[in-house]
Amino acid sequence: MLTDHRIDATRLLQRLDDLAQHGAREDGGVSRLALTDADKAGRDQVVTWMRALGLEVTVDAIGNIHGLRAGRSKGPPVMTGSHIDTVRAGGRYDGNYGVLAGLEVVETLNDAGLTTEHPLCVSVFTGEEGARFAPDMLGSLVFVGALALETALAIRDAEGCVLGEELARIGYAGDTPVGHTPVHRYVELHIEQGPVLEAEGVTIGAVRDLQGISWQELELAGQANHAGTTPMQLRHDAGYAAAAVATFLRELTKTLGGDQLATCGVIELQPNLINVIPSHARMTVDLRNTDEASLQRAEAELARFLAELQEAEGVTIATRRLARFEPVVFDADVHAVVRRAAEGLGYSVRDMTSGAGHDAQMLARICPSAMIFVPSVGGISHNPAEHTEPAELEAGANVLLRTMLELDAQS
Ligand SMILES: [Zn+2]
């Protein structure tokens, strides 16, 4: 029976360990920003493993790495994958786990001498984190044709380095055309990066949808003045206005209810002195919802509040959109396959919404897709302390194996 096969957890854990040495931090975390020397070293390691497993390795023009295992037919592959870039002070599982579990699936099938009907593909997408080159999920965005290659190659990091030049510098400006590649099914295994699975003692999350994200930057301009001599009714206090926006956001989540999330992560004041009314404030707003209509309502409510605030406080507020992704509903059938695979292996499973963005949301634009989550201890990620228990890493990879085999069986 195909379903009798199990991955080798020792091998998977060893590869996770080995890959974490590239860009290793003293605190046990990993710093492997996209297209740095550390990223190149990590990529070289993954490509070496892919070749050793007999995969046909191609690198496309945005630097995505694809390792193809031939099937009985030559049609579109069952694809899995993720990313190996990290944030500046990241962990060893985010992204890496999905890629290396994909290699483990391949090695398990190699050991068993099994050939699937469709080819299998393990992909490493460029610059998922967006921590060096924005936007995030860049490689998969170009792969599905949602961002032009030329535009992506011209993006600069904070130091002014050009993405295309960095890609060439590390030897990953590939010669394979990017995008418009037919894919049969896509499934991505990832750590949850949140606390839900651990809190409920559940091993596997069958991810059925992914929150929409709306990012804005607000510049508020008022008038600096003396904190002792300026009467309250004559102030144009950009600091107060920024605080009012932050408070409004929390109230908004209560009014809208449901899945609405709102975060003000940055407030910077000028001149930032104890006895001066702030003249300027720069702040960010992060709105998320699984429902597009609700997310639009949250954006509209915020816009209405900002208009009122300008009027009432005599400040001007300029808004700039930093990112906007609609919520994604994953394919119901692929999601059901993940659930069945987890149940068939005897693991506890629950349906989930992803609170974070992932390459899978881009792949969902071109083929039936879904995701598998495993618990994150303490819900911690984007942090050297990121951890998932070995038994759960093993469970997730086994669910990935069975899911890919079942998706392969679908015509
Ligand atoms: Zn990730």
Strand partners, 188: 371
pLDDT of the residue at 411: 84
237 contacts: CB under 8 Å, gap ≥ 6: 222, 277, 278, 313, 315
Helix axes 96-112, 37-52, angle to 10 degrees: 10
83 CA to centre of ligand 1 in angstroms: 6
pLDDT of the residue at 181: 82
160 CA to centre of ligand 1 in angstroms: 25
Lowest-pLDDT range of 164-168, 175-179, 359-363: 175-179
63 CA to centre of ligand 1 in angstroms: 17
**How do residues 231-276 score in pLDDT, each as one tens digit?**
999 999 999 999 999 999 999 999 998 889 999 999 999 999 999 9
- Rounded distance between C-alpha atoms, residue 13 and residue 291, angstroms: 37
**How do residues 219-231 score in pLDDT, each as one tens digit?**
999 999 999 999 9
Q: What is the mean pLDDT of residues 339-357?
A: 96
**How do residues 74-89 score in pLDDT, each as one tens digit?**
999 999 999 999 999 9
Q: What is the mean pLDDT of residues 170-189?
A: 94
Q: DSSP code of 203?
A: S
Is 199 in contact with 214 (CB distance < 8 Å)?
A: no
**How do residues 98-123 score in pLDDT, each as one tens digit?**
999 999 999 999 999 999 999 999 99
Indicate the average pLDDT of the chain: 96
255 CA to centre of ligand 1 in angstroms: 31
pLDDT of the residue at 1: 58
Is 106 in contact with 113 (CB distance < 8 Å)?
A: no
193 CA to centre of ligand 1 in angstroms: 8
55 CA to centre of ligand 1 in angstroms: 23
pLDDT of the residue at 4: 85
Inter-CA distances, 315 with 240, 282, 307, 372, Å: 10, 13, 10, 47
139 CA to centre of ligand 1 in angstroms: 13
247 CA to centre of ligand 1 in angstroms: 30
331 CA to centre of ligand 1 in angstroms: 20
The CA-to-CA distance between both ends of the chain, in Å, stands at 19
Q: What is the mean pLDDT of residues 161-175?
A: 98
**How do residues 371-396 score in pLDDT, each as one tens digit?**
999 999 999 999 999 999 999 999 99
- Rounded distance between C-alpha atoms, residue 397 and residue 286, angstroms: 32
Strand partners, 398: none
The full DSSP string for 313-324 is: HT-EEEEEEEEE
**How do residues 42-97 score in pLDDT, each as one tens digit?**
999 999 999 999 999 999 999 999 999 999 999 999 999 999 999 999 999 999 99
Q: What is the mean pLDDT of residues 312-327?
A: 95
Residue 277, pLDDT > 70, answer: yes
**Sorting pLDDT into bands at 50, 70 and 90, what band is 2?**
low
CA-closest candidate to residue 6, choices 334, 376, 396: 396
Name the percent of the chain lying above pLDDT 90: 96
Q: What is the mean pLDDT of residues 160-180?
A: 95
pLDDT of the residue at 179: 82
pLDDT of the residue at 113: 96
Is 66 in contact with 80 (CB distance < 8 Å)?
A: no
Name the amino acid, one letter, at 205: G
By the CB criterion, residues less than 5 angstroms from ion ligand 1 are 94-95
Pairing mode, strands 280-289 and 212-221: antiparallel
CA–chain centroid gap for 299, Å, is 22
94 CA to centre of ligand 1 in angstroms: 5
218 CA to centre of ligand 1 in angstroms: 27
